[in-house]
Structure 1
Amino acid sequence: MIWLGSCKDADTPAEEHNEQAFNNTDMERDADFVMKAATASMAEIELGNLAMANGALPEVKQFGQTMVTDHTAANEELRAAAQPKNIALPVAPTDAQLKKAEELRGKTGADFDKDYIDLMVKDHKDVIDAFEKEAEKGNDPDLKTWAGAKLPALRHHLQMAEELQQRLKK
């Protein structure tokens, strides 16, 4: 997951809705987490599709497929958890996330594999940290539970990416 600070460029109407609805409330932090988690998952889906198309190693292509499958399901779950709380979700990754995808789009083969997997390792470390914080300090019990429930899969993604990263270094 590409976890970047601001979601404002991802979906201004959703961001504006959430700011108006939750500004200075207990749910503000949770709504911000939901926005970031959603854009990060959408970016993972985009990058996973690129990995299936541009990757050289079958394992990188399979990792990309896993990202598409798992993050599509996670976004559906997140949408179901956010809707009753009136948290608006973005419709696309952030501009910064799309820029990362565009940089990778021009690469193929071993160059793509290395850069994609390096990005996956870095981003999964960032995402795990954010999900741990939400699971511990979030205000909404449903979102806290959801974040905690996603941690094993995220840690598994990181482990898979680190193993691929080591293989690519050889």
Structure 2
Amino acid sequence: MKTYRLEFTQKIPVSLDVAWDFFSSPQNLSEITPESMTFDVTSPIKKDEKMYPGMIITYKVAPLLGVKLNWMTEITHVMDKEYFIDEQRFGPFAFWHHNHHFEEIEGGVLMHDILHYAIGFGFIGTIANEIMVAKKVKEIFNFRYKKVEELFGTVEYATIF
């Protein structure tokens, strides 16, 4: 099974407290996900509840072709105002490990994501990744990039790798 790695970086012109407060809240996930994915958090999460190690989050999501799937992730690690990691327990991927890092920098926060994922299904999964999955994952992160700019403003220096 082939594993893929993607990285995304964005500078956000807000304080570390503001960035952490927004991104560590599971309730905000649907706001930064394309509407076409019909992303719904189905876990009974309280309004102001923040992520913590061991937290299980369930969703209904349509990642490809409008087919609704159940997805379950676990927040495996949290270092307050530095990073958190979510890992898929059940869902559309054979493997999903997503690091979210936050660093206070001059003028705001540098947000850096490192994503490792695998499709499964051997050669067919490799072809599926090349044809549509990698493109779709990049589209999701590009959407998030634009949505974060919309919510928090833009800066001169910002990149997506």
Bigger fraction of residues in helix: 1
- Per the normalisation by structure 2, the TM-score is 0.31
Bigger fraction of residues in strand: 2
